[in-house]
Amino acid sequence: MDAVVEPKPLNRTQMAARVAADIPEGWIVNLGIGIPTLVADHVPEDREVIFHSENGVIGVGPAPAEDARDPWLINAGKQHVTLRTGGAYVHHADSFALIRGGHLDLCVLGAFEVAENGDIANWSTGANEKAPAVGGAMDLAAGARRLWVVMEHTTKDGRPRLVRRCSYPLTALGAVKRIYTNLAVIDVEPRGFVVREMIPGLTLEALQARSEARLHLPA
Amino acid sequence: MIDKFVRGTAEALAGVRSGATILIGGFGQVGTPNALIEALSEADLRDLTVVCNNAGTGTHGLARVMAEGRVRKIICSFPRSAGSVVLEELYKEGKIELEIVPQGTMAERMRAASAGLPAFYTPTGLGTALAEGKETREFDGRTYVLERALRGDVALVEAWQADRWGNLTYRKAGRNFNPVMAMAAELTIAQTQHVAELGALDPEAIVTPGVFVDRVVHIPYGEPDLGKPLY
């Protein structure tokens, strides 16, 4: 009899590495704040992927050592970064022309919720007491040729993030193509969520129990 | 002889009126015209509309301009960050009007103004709260949102180098909103880290030609602070 494998959810680093494995050489990629930012650490430097940051940095390189930080070089998350050989600077209008104009092969964002029709909610919880902030999320979600989301499969208190319709304010309509969670890789197709991959030992039933929208298996 | 240099920030801001719309460059602490913002907080001005990506942190810079009660409305993409206490407070008390604009839409609204275009269609924000009440139109099977141009009465920018014609270069991520804002205002005022002789800047490397710049003030402000949180 086979040993029963206890499902072990991926941690943040493993989730980032899983996304990185699917990014081919030559793509222009924008990474959002949080787990998406970690993705760059898992793309080997000899696989030439060009990372873009909204504040006009094309060709973002690895984070600098503490004592080698350049005060003039930050990314959209206001972290210090480097520019890799071949990189370039542009102003904000050109940076977002790159985003909206179909020049971004991929954007990876975090999210509160993704709906089975590809809607994404990631900028506001709808609470009124705080000044809302959107940054470049709506431009990226609407403009990138592909939008992938990386997020925990459920909230901290266990509520599903893969939903039939988003309950939080929307960032973009029908934009998400693929979701990487700590439990699975899921494509968004016309018929809804299609499970491409699950962590070892996890059953479709168990994954479904953690998702609000219906999950499908590949045809 | 064309010479756009002025002697200090007070002279740089001369003629700026209450009620003006002021575009302020910078992203995080990089490329921010700090000396001009400080002068703005000390000038006798009220009811300003400020367009800036962030809404100030702590009690200095733009936060101080707001704390002095000079700002009626702020147009920005990302007001909330660690230390944006002044804005949070004014917003909660209803003492400041806040217009949230997607970052790329904000840049493009100013670019359109600079290019003489009154409005443009964008895919950004369609179906979201930020497009509510805005006209939409379908082109080639996709629906777009109509956004209006955003022109400033004044733009405050930070350059790395400037010459007496007002030709500007920027440093690394310090470029950000500065070039597009410089082009989108009636009165563009640049604070520059370095002064170049006319002819010393490589024409291939000038990012903002002097035709878009009205006044230049030399402020060797120094590097963005590495120690402070960069918001």
Residue B30, pLDDT score: 95
Chain A positions touching B124 (Cβ under 8 A) are 100, 138-139, 142-143
Residue A2, pLDDT score: 58
pLDDT digits (tens, 9 = 90+) for A37-74: 999 999 998 999 999 999 999 999 999 999 999 999 99
Domains of chain A: 12-216 (3.40.1080.10)
Cα A42–A45–A51 angle (5° rounding)?
A: 75
Residue B229, pLDDT score: 45
Counting residues of chain A whose pLDDT is more than 90, the rounded percentage is 92
* CATH (residue range B9-118+149-218): 3.40.1080.10
**CB interface of A with B, residues 41-60, below 8 Å:** 54-57
Residue B231, pLDDT score: 40
Three-class DSSP category at B205: coil
Q: pLDDT band at residue A3, thresholds of 50, 70 and 90?
A: low
Residue B18, pLDDT score: 98
Show contacts of B139-148: CB within 8 Å, 24+ apart: B145/B121, B146/B119, B146/B120, B146/B121, B147/B105, B147/B108, B147/B109, B147/B112, B147/B119, B147/B120, B147/B121, B147/B122, B148/B109, B148/B118, B148/B119
Q: Could you tell me the residue ranges of all domains in chain B?
A: 9-118+149-218
Instruction: Note the ipTM here.
Output: 0.95
Q: Which of A93, A131, A137 sits opposite B79 (nearest CB)?
A: A131
pLDDT digits (tens, 9 = 90+) for A76-111: 999 999 999 999 999 999 999 999 999 999 999 999
Token readout for B136 is: 């939409």
What mean pLDDT value characterizes chain B?
A: 95
Which distant-in-sequence residues (6+ apart) come within 8 Å of A14 by Cβ?
A182
End-to-end CA distance of chain A: 30
Residue B35, pLDDT score: 97
Q: Are strands A106-109 and A82-89 parallel, antiparallel or unpaired?
A: unpaired
Three-class DSSP category at B145: strand
In a mutational test of the A interface, the residue from B23, B24, B27, B134 whose CB has the highest number of chain A CBs within 10 Å is: B27
Helices B103-114, A92-100: crossing angle, 10 deg rounding:
110
Mean pLDDT of B154-163: 98
- Sign, CA dihedral A27-A147-B149-B17, equals negative
Counting residues of chain B whose pLDDT is more than 70, the rounded percentage is 98
Rounded-to-integer distance, Cα A12 and Cα A33, Å:
13
Q: Which residues pair with B122 in a beta bridge?
A: B145
Mean pLDDT of A154-162: 97
